[in-house]
């Protein structure tokens, strides 16, 4: 059993579906609905899905202190256990991938499989610059400027170039309207977290989904995760940082096919 006791599950959570357990960890500045929304029903068709919203996302109150990766990981596991899941797979996207890896390292008796999408083992220089700008824009209160930066960075080159001007402005407007209040804390956490020491300790079968047109988390970082976790598989999807927007059906199929192979 894990040496790490679980806290009371206090984060707001989404619970859907039935079947084998699947815990979801969302990206920075987002929520379960905004990260997994396009594929949530598809995942819940085959699994009992439990996802938590980090402080400052969804219905979880914003934190007055810097966030802790250990706390986010423990809250994710505690939520799944509270919902009756003794063991479960974990899918983590972007910052959620760091949460998922830390959860698997701290609670190996609980986590049966990992799916890690568009994530990173540590912040490289590009991400250090990106998260610094991202945090400062979020703190400024200029949501439209923040949204323009996020759309420019997050969309893959092919998808961005193929988007008509009117639709692009709509995307920027939607992004501005859905920015999580806790974005500054999320970006700060993403900019200082390092899970490289966790990788070799992860025992669960792992799939790393590499977003090949990603400006936030490079394919080099994706490969470092796959190389560091024993037995991990890596697959590529030709998107930027937003597979849920650019190729949701393909992303869902990669997740569910892998989990079906590792029930």
Quickly count: other Cβ atoms within 10 Å of residue 211's Cβ: 29
Domain coordinates of the chain in residue numbers? 13-125+183-261
Could you state, in chain order, the average pLDDT of each consecutive group of 10 residues for the chain (263 residues)? 82 98 97 97 98 98 97 98 98 98 97 98 95 96 96 96 96 95 97 96 97 96 98 98 97 98 90
pLDDT of residue 263: 83
Find the helix packing angle between 32-44 and 248-261, rounded to 10°: 60
Give this prediction's pTM.
Answer: 0.96
Q: Of the candidates 53, 106, 111, which has an alpha carbon nearest to the alpha carbon of residue 81?
A: 111
The first and second tokens of residue 60, run together, are 């979880």
pLDDT of residue 4: 81
Each residue's pLDDT tens digit, 167-185: 999 999 999 999 999 999 9
The residues that bridge with 194 in the sheet, in sequence order, are 122
CATH topology of domain 13-125+183-261: Rossmann fold (3.40.50)
Quickly count: other Cβ atoms within 10 Å of residue 55's Cβ: 23
Give the C-alpha separation, 161 to 8, whole Å: 46
Give the C-alpha separation, 14 to 138, whole Å: 25
Give the C-alpha separation, 145 to 155, whole Å: 16
Cβ neighbours of residue 250 closer than 8 Å, sequence gap 6 or more: 237, 243
């Amino acid at each position: 059993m894990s040496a790490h006791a679980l806290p009371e599950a206090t984060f707001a959570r989404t619970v859907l579906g039935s079947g084998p357990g699947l815990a979801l960890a969302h990206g920075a500045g987002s929520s379960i609905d905004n990260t997994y929304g396009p594929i949530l029903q598809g995942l819940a068709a085959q699994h009992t899905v439990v996802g938590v919203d980090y402080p400052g996302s969804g219905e979880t109150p914003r934190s007055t202190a810097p966030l802790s990766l250990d706390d986010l990981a423990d809250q994710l596991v505690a939520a799944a256990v509270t919902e009756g899941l003794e063991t479960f797979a974990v899918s983590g996207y972007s910052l959620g991938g760091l949460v998922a890896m830390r959860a698997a390292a701290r609670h190996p008796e609980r986590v049966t499989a990992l799916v890690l999408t568009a994530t990173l083992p540590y912040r490289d220089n590009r991400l250090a610059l990106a998260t610094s700008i991202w945090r400062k824009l979020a703190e400024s209160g200029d949501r439209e400027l923040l949204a323009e930066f996020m759309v420019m960075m997050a969309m893959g080159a092919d998808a961005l170039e193929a988007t008509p001007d009117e639709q692009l402005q709509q995307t920027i407007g939607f992004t501005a309207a859905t920015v999580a209040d806790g974005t500054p804390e999320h970006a700060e956490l993403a900019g200082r977290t390092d899970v490289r020491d966790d990788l070799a300790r992860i025992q669960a079968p792992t799939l790393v989904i590499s977003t090949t047109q990603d400006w936030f988390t490079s394919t080099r970082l994706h490969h470092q995760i796959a190389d560091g976790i024993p037995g991990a598989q890596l697959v590529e999807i030709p998107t930027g940082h937003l597979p849920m927007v650019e190729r949701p059906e393909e992303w869902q199929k990669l997740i569910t096919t892998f989990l079906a192979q590792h029930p």
